[in-house]
Each structure stands twice: as structure tokens, then as C-alpha cells.
Structure 1
Amino acid sequence: MESEEKTLKDYLQIIRRRKYTIITPMLVLLLLSVIVAIALPPVYRSKATILIEQQHIPADLVKSTVISFADERIRQIQQKLMTIDNLNKIIEKFNLYPKEKNLVNASDLAEQFRLATTLELINADVVGKGKNTKATLAFTLAFDYKVPTITQKVANELVTLFLDENIRSRTQRAEESTKFLQEEAEKFKLEIQKIENQLAEYKDKYSGSLPELLSVNMSSIARIENTQQQLQLQEKMLVERRINLHNQLASTSPVVIESGDNKNTKVETRASLEAEYKNLLKKYSNTHPDTKALKRRLDEFEEPNKGQASNANINNPAYLQLQSELNIATVELQNINQQKIALAAQLKKLETNISQTHQVERGYSDLMRDLENHKTKYTELKAKYLEAKLSQNLEAEQKAEKFTLLEPPRVPEKPEKPNRIKIIFLGFLFSIAGGLGAGLLAEMMDNSIRNHNVLTQLTGSEPLVVIPYIENQEDLNRSRKNKINFTLLGLFLIVGAALAIHFFYMPLDIAVNKVSDRLSMLF
């Protein structure tokens, strides 16, 4: 058999019939919600707003060494500060959670402190490089605790730690960057000195074969070859002169003979002696005294020319002059030979240097390239070091990006939680739902026949007569009494709600003014 479809009138009759079943759990749940709202301890919140102030000096002039995003740095600072040791120091300093200290360990206390701390970022949409991005402009830092004054002190302590840690971390990062660049620059400076020493040793080892000396060596070779040609020409001339001097010397008598009283000096020559000797041989034999004497004179004439006669017997100035010129020519030839030998050695050395130039050039070019690369890198590092030094000064003087306390933490005047009005309101809703649910459950479990429709469904036929419920005086009195009770209950709920608003949310006069202001704005 199909179940009866209930109408609104049926539900109203059920509510009327089960009113006590509905009202009792409703009142119990409402009372419990009120008790919970009143019994929960108040938790106050002290909140500070910290502005992320941008760098004062344009970044084109001085760049900061801290390039991470603001939200990333904030989270890093939070992780550094929210360690168990740091949080326990704060807990001990302000004597937080005195009851929990004996019940839980330090880690649980620190975790409870973390849960009481709230950090929220304030972002804004920024258009940059053709796309929309989120930029962190500020952030709020709040702390929740049951004592308002302590809440403000702890929040102020957290703000101070955040600001100090930001300055310390930025300064430390700038110092580390400066120190790193300085150390790297010193390393390259030592490398440059090392390469310069290697280059000096290389130049000393291959001093004549360096690439920049190739043109000098080539011009030196040309100059030496020209000098050799000149020396060969001079040598040829000196050789011819020596031959000529030898011939003249051979035909000149080294001795001058004086004859007669007129002091005329006769200079004998080999040719005249030989002619005279031949004439004597025509007249006399070779054993004749005159012939022998002239032969001795001829022999004496030959011996000085061979260098075997004593210089003391030579008194012919012309002979001495020729002999001196011959000696000078001989010395000059010796000098020319020595010069030729020296020039040949120089030429050989230069040719060796030139032949090694291409091989030396490769090693020399490698060293010079390394030197130039290291110098370029050293110059770049020095420039970056100077920039980092400026950035360090920028951080030290707090001219770079910094955290500025925009709104300091204040002593809270009203608790942040629990929201007693919300708890009571939710309790009111749950009490209504619970009461109605209890009434419907009781109705579903009751098998009584309440109207003719149920009877018709059970018997399958309509009843002949339906007599409605006839109220007597007792029913009327009960109905009047119920109306009075419900009226009193409504007044009690209204007064209770007003008192709850007054004591747990805001004074009624202020609430009335706010409501009237909003209504005036709407209408």
C-alpha cells in the first residue's frame, strides 16, 4: 500500500502534537550552545602590518645584491625564527602557557606557539614584461593569546625579530657577496701574476724568437747580409792591396847606401843588383871577389824581404812605409775575418730564432690569451666587487628594500575568538533542527491512527462519517497556557540574544547606531 502524502496541514498538526518533543531538545541544545559560547576562554589577537618599502636609490645607479622575491624572504625569515629553541625562549621570556608547561614537552609548546602565530601576505596584481604577476606589498603578523597585554608584547617581540632578522640577513648576504667577489678577484690576481711570471720566463727563454721580434730579426738579417757583402768587398780590396804591397815591397831594397862626399843616397833595388851581378858574371867568374861580394849583397837583399833579416839593418823609409801598410792591411783582413765569423754566428742565430718563431708564437699566444682572459675576468670581478661594496653600504645604511612597521601591534580590546554570537546562532539553528528531527522521529515511531485518511488506507474504504476534534474547556485553557509559555519563551530568547550581543559582541547602543546608519545608507 502506498504511503500517505503529507500536506502542510499534516506537518503543522505534527508540530502541534509533538510540541514538547520538539521544544525540549531544542531548549537543551540552545542552552548547551550558550554554555559553550560563554565557557570558552577568550583569545585575543594583536596584529601588526609591515610594509615592504622599495629601494630609495634607483636600481640603475646601485643594484642590490639581494635579488630574491619579498614573499620568499619573508617565508625564509619565518622559518629561521620559528625554530623550537627560539620559540621556547619567547615562551620563557613572557611566561606563556604556564599550565601546559608541566603537561607537554618543548616541541609541543613550540607547535602551539606556531599555531597561535599568523602571517599573511598582502599581494597586488602588477603588470610587468607583458604579463600579470603578483607582487607582495606588505604582510601582517599576528599572535593569539588569552591575555591582551601579553598578546601585544609577544606580537611586538615577533615584529622586532622579523625586522632585525631581515636587516641581518640582507646585510650578511651583501657581505658574503662582497667577500666572495673579493676572494675571486684575489684568485684571478694571483693567476695573473703566475701567468706573467710564466710569460717572463718564456720571453727570457725564447728572447730572440718572439713574434713581435720577427720583423726586427728579418731586418737584422738583411742588415747583416748587407754588412757581409760590404766586408767581402773590403776583403777583396785588401787582398788586392796586399798583393800590390807585396810586389812593391819585393822590388824595394830595405837598405839605403850612402856614397861620395856629396852625401847622395843611392837606393838599391833587387833589379839593379841582379843587373849588376849579371854584368860582373860576364866579366868575372862567380869565384871572383867582386862577384862574391855582390852575391852576398843580393842574398842580403832577399833575406830581409823574407822576414829573416834583422829590422835593425832596414833603413829604407819607403820600404818601412810599404811594410807598415802591408801590416795594416793584414790586420784589417784579420778584423774582417773576425767580423765575418761574428756576423755568420749572428746570422745563424737569427735564422734559428726565425725558424722557431712560429712554434714559439703558439706558446706565446696561448700565454697571452690566458693573460688577457684573466685580466678581463679580473676587471669584471673588480667592477662587480665595487658594485657589491656599494650594495653593502646600501644595506648598511638601510637605503635598499626594507621592512617598515606600518601599523604596530596594539593591545586588543575585544577577543578575536571564540565568536560567541556565531556559536549561539549556530546552536540556535542546530537546536531547531534537533527539535524538529526529534519530533519527526517520534511521529514516525508512533503507529496511532490520527485521521480518516490513514483509516481509509488501512481498510480500503471510506468511513461513513468523520467527526472532527471537539475542544472542551480544558483544551482551551491548555491552548491559552501554551500561547503564554511560547510568548515568554520568545521574549526570553530575544532578551538573551540582546544580552549576548551586548556583552559578547558590542554594546547595544553602538549596534543600534550601526544598524540605523546602514539602513539610512540603503534607504
Structure 2
Amino acid sequence: MNTDLKFYYALFLQRLPVMAVIFAVFTALGIALALTLPPRYRAEAILVVEGSKIPVDLRAFEDETEATEQLQIMEKQLMTRSNLIDLANRHRVFAGEVGMTPDDVVERMRELTDIELVSGRDRATIMTVSFLSGDAKTSADVVNDFVTIVLKADAETRIAGSGDTLEFFDQQVQRYSGDLSRQSEKIVAYKEANKDALPEEQTYRLSQQTSLQDRLNLADRDLASLRDQRARLLAVGEASGVPTVNMTPDQQQLSDLENELNAALAIYSETNPKVTILQARIASIKRRMMRSGTTPSTDAEGSPTSVASTMLDLQLAEIDSRIDYLEKEKVRTEADMQKLRVAIERTPSVAIGLQALESEYASLQIQMNQAVAARAAARQGVEIESAAKGQRISVLEQATQPSAPNSPNRKLVAGGGVFVGTALAAAFFGLGELLNRTIRRPIDLSRALGVQPLVTIPFLEEETARRRRRILKTVFTIAMLIAVPAALWAVHTFYLPLDLLIEDLMARVGL
């Protein structure tokens, strides 16, 4: 065991110069990076989603998107290509860097910008926006512009959303109003086309039908009575020997008009227009009869008729006139009853059609009332959003110009250089021993050949070989001194600045 320790100690002393070079290179590189890396300033602002200040029962159409969803939408809007390029150009974020394409600008802006959302049950929804820049003022200005974009977009979204809702319900109200007007016109036209069979007048038609039926029955009874009376008069006249004279049409008409005139004079005065007309017609008929040689009181042979015969003829004429009137009245009554019967039979179908139209009108009226109420609520939502009393995003903490750089952590960078140098030096020693399979000790010979040697003679190295070995060590050391800084410079220049790379590595390991 002591022999092994002495061996490794001697080996350590042998390789110590190279290990010291490796350690010194990386330690110096770490210290140099810590001293030369440009400072990075980080400004941040905190936004919070405030709940609505309006009572729940008044928020019918307030545009109240889920808070987390709202902030996620805002995050996507902030990270759009146009926004990032505009902010980079406005604040000259990359003024010292040349040859950057728009794609490079967008990629770098997204790397330098950090947006963090914090939400949870029974917790406020918070957005933290931060930006990393080599200039303190630039970092604060960029973050404040981000905040301005968020607040402006939030206000526009809320007002536009409630305005769109109001416009929609305005259109709904106008559409339902037009539908109601057209439906009302349909109902009026339908009622006009079926005015004789409307259901609301069915009771009146039934009572009128009963009245007409009673009138028809009465007319039948009166006709039967008059026909019976006429038959009796004829029978009495024949039995008494009173001849019946067949009156001419003019005589019959004259008799009817005289009877009508007598009835009118019993009611009206002689100056009444109706009486005057009847007298004129009677005079006209008499003149016509005088011209034709016919007299009201002559029989077929020209002798005067008896008083009894005249009275009989007058009674018969009156009965015939009443019979004719009742028959005409019966015809009119039957026609009216037929119209009523048709109207009564049509009423159920008319009622069904009218009910369908009125039901559609009532449905439209309900929708109209709902649309009007919704429009009022939407208008209230517009007023709420305009007054900024609804759910909105507000600034909890404005971004201020940082007084000290946020990165790099110079102590950490220097310590990292020391750690890397130590680790690489130890790796050089360990790997060199693991990869070296040459026989340098008696125990190595025993392990390789499986025999116990009696005596061992050490390897005597020639001066030329020793010189070659020293040259190789020197070349390797110089190569390491050149290659390692060159590799770090290439990473810093062509891939990612070392401070950002270190931050990314620290974030990945959770430091």
C-alpha cells in the first residue's frame, strides 16, 4: 500500500506541471471572464388582473375572460414579431451589434425577455414582465413599453368585446322588430281574408243562426197560416156566390201600392218622401190604365163589380202580397243561414291557422323582449368597460431603472473557472493513468504475465526519448493554452454569450 502511494505521489509530481498549467489557464480564464463580461441590467414590472368592481347581478354582458387565459393571450401578443422588432428599433437595443437580420433580432429579443405567469385557486393572477439589457435605462424603457402594450390591448379588447356584443343585440332587436311587423301584417291580412269565420265571433254566429232558424220557422208558420186563410176565403166566396175577378197585373200592382200607401199614411205625414213616391207611382199606374182602357173597377164584361167581390179580391191580393213577401224573406233567410253554416264550419280551420300565426307572433315577441333586455345589459357592459369598472389588467409595480447589474455573477464566474481548472487537472491525471497500459512496476509485470519475478531491472530511458517526451508535453501544454480560450471565444461569439450560457446552465440545474 505504501509502495502504491509513493508511486502515485511520484506520478503526481511528474504530471504536476501540466496539471498546474491546466488549472492556471482555466482559473485565469474564469477571472478574466468575471472581470471583462459586460454588465446586464434586468428591469421588471408586475401586472395583476383585477376583479370586477360591479355587483354580480349587473355583469350580464361584461367581457370577463378567464384571467389566466387573458394573460396568456397578452403574452402571445407581446411576443409577436412586429412588436419585438419595433421595440428593438425604437430603443436601439442592439445598436452596438451589426449585421443582425430581423430574424436574429426577434430571436435575441425573445431570449432577453422573460414573462412569468402566476395563478392558482384563491390566488391573484399575476404577470411579471422583465427584460435584460446592457443598459439600465433601455431595460426599464422596454419593460414599460411592454406594459403599455398590454394595458392598451386589454382596454381595446374589453371595449371592443362589449361593443361587438351591443352591436350584435342591436341587430337582433332590429331583425325581430321587422319580423314582428311582417307577422302582424300577416295576421291582419289573414283576418281580413277570413273575417266571416273568425273564432272570436263564433258565439255571435251561433246565436244569429238560432235567430235565423227561429225566423225561418216563423215564416213557415206564417206562410202556412196565410195559405190556409186564402183557401178559406176562396171557399167562402164560392159558397156565397161572389165571383172572383182575375185582376190584371196593373190592377194587382195598383192594389198593392194603395195598400202600402194606406199603411204609410198611418205612420208618416203626406209630405213624407216615401208617401210622395207612393202617390206618384199610383198616379202613374192609373194614367197607364186609363190609356189602355182598363179601369180598376170593371170586370171582364165591363159591368161594375160588387162591393163583396172587390173586398174579396182586396183580401186575396193582400194575402198574396204577404205570401210573396214571406217567400222572398224565407229565401233570403235560407241564404243567410247557408252563409252562416259555411262560416261556422270554416271557423275551426281558420282558428287553427290564426292560432299558428299568433303563436309565432308571441314567440317572436318573447325573443324581441329578450333581445331588448340583452341589449340594455350589453349597453350597460359598454358603460362599465368604458369606466374601467370591470375586470381589467392593472400595473402593480412599474418598471424602474435598475441601480445595479443583475448579471453576470462575477464571483460565480471566477469560482467556476477555478472549479473547471481543478476538475480538468484531476481529469488529466486520472485519465492519463487509466489509459496508460505500460509496465512500470513489478506488480504490473505480475498482473500482465501471471508470474512472480525474482528481480526487476528498471527501464533506462535514453536521452533522446526523454527529450522527445518533454517536447510533447510542452506542445500539449501550449495547445491547451491556445485551444481552450479559442473554444470559449468561439462559443461566446458564434453561439451564445457566455454570461447567458452560464445563466441558462444555472437555470437548468436549478441554481
Normalising by structure 2, we get a TM-score of 0.69
Amino acid at match of 1:379: N
- Aligned twin of 2:145: 157
Query: Which structure would you say has the larger RCO, counting Cα contacts within 8 Å and 6 or more residues apart?
Result: 2
Q: Distance in 2 between matches of 1:433 and 1:365?
A: 95
Shift of 1:29: 0.7
What does 1:42-441 correspond to in 2, within 5 Å? 42-100=39-97, 102-126=98-122, 137-241=125-229, 302=245, 307=251, 310-311=295-296, 330-441=320-431
Give distance in 1, aligned partners of 2:433 and 2:386: 79
SS in 1 for 2:95: coil
Deviation for aligned residue 1:68:
2.7
3-state SS of paired residue (2:177): helix
**1:62–1:315: structure 2 CA closer, same or farther, 3 Å change rule?**
farther
Q: Which amino acid is the alignment partner of residue 90 of structure 2?
A: K
Match of 2:482 in 1: none
Q: Single out whichever of 52-61 and 423-432 deviates more from structure 2.
A: 423-432
Larger Rg: 1
- Structure 2 unaligned spans of 5+: 253-293, 299-303, 457-511
Cα contact 1:64–1:400 (8 A) shared by 2: no
Q: Distance in 2 between matches of 1:217 and 1:10?
A: 133
Q: Name the Cα RMSD after superposition.
A: 3.8
**SS of equivalent to 1:18:** helix
CA contact (8 A) 2:68 2:119 kept: no
* Distance verdict in 2 for CA 1:435–1:321, change over 3 Å: farther
Instruction: Give me the whole-angstrom Cα distance separating, in 2, the residues matched to 1:194 and 1:400.
Output: 39
> What letter matches 1:33 in structure 2?
G
Amino acid at match of 2:176: F
Equivalent residues of 1:121, 1:136 under 8 A apart: no
**Amino acid in structure 1 at the alignment position of 2:219:** L
Whether the 8 Å CA contact 2:442–2:453 is kept in 1: the answer is no
The one-character-per-residue Cα deviations of 1:209-228 (angstroms, maximum 9, x if unpaired) are 33444444333322322232
What are the Cα deviations for residues 420-462 of structure 1, in whole angstroms up to 9, with x where unaligned?
Answer: 3332232222111111112234445667887775576677247
CA–CA distance in 1 between the matches of 2:137 and 2:71? 26
Output the amino acid matched with 2:22.
Answer: P
Cα offsets for 1:213-271 (capped at 9, x unmatched): 444433332232223223323333444455567778x59xxxxxxxxxxxxxxxxxx95
**After the TM superposition, which of the residue ranges 156-165 and 415-424 deviates more from structure 2?**
415-424
Which position in structure 1 is the counterpart of 2:17?
A: 20
Name the SS of the counterpart of 1:208 in structure 2: helix
Conserved in 1, the CA contact under 8 Å of 2:245 and 2:313? no
Instruction: Provide the residue aligned with 1:520 in structure 2.
Output: none
Aligned amino acid, residue 310 of structure 1: T
Give 3-state SS (helix, strand or coil) of 2:119's partner: strand
Aligned residue in 2 for 1:508: none
Q: Is the 8 A contact 1:52 1:401 kept in 2?
A: yes
Give the alignment partner of residue 452 of structure 2, picking from 447, 460, 467. 460
| Cα distance, 1:322–1:303 mapped onto 2, change above 3 Å | closer
What displacement does 1:409 show?
A: 0.5
Contact 1:71 1:136 in 2 (8 A): no
Any stretches of 5+ residues in structure 1 without a counterpart?
A: 127-134, 252-269, 275-297, 465-523
2:32 is equivalent to residue 39 of structure 1 = no
AA partner of residue 34 (structure 2)? A
How many percent identity over aligned positions? 20
Structure 1 SS opposite 2:370: helix
Residue 282 of structure 2 corresponds to none
Q: Which residue of 2 is the match for residue 485 of structure 1?
A: none
**Counterpart-to-counterpart distance in 2, 1:448 and 1:303:** 171
Q: Is the 8 A contact 1:14 1:443 kept in 2?
A: no
Matches of 1:193 and 1:34 in 2, distance apart? 87
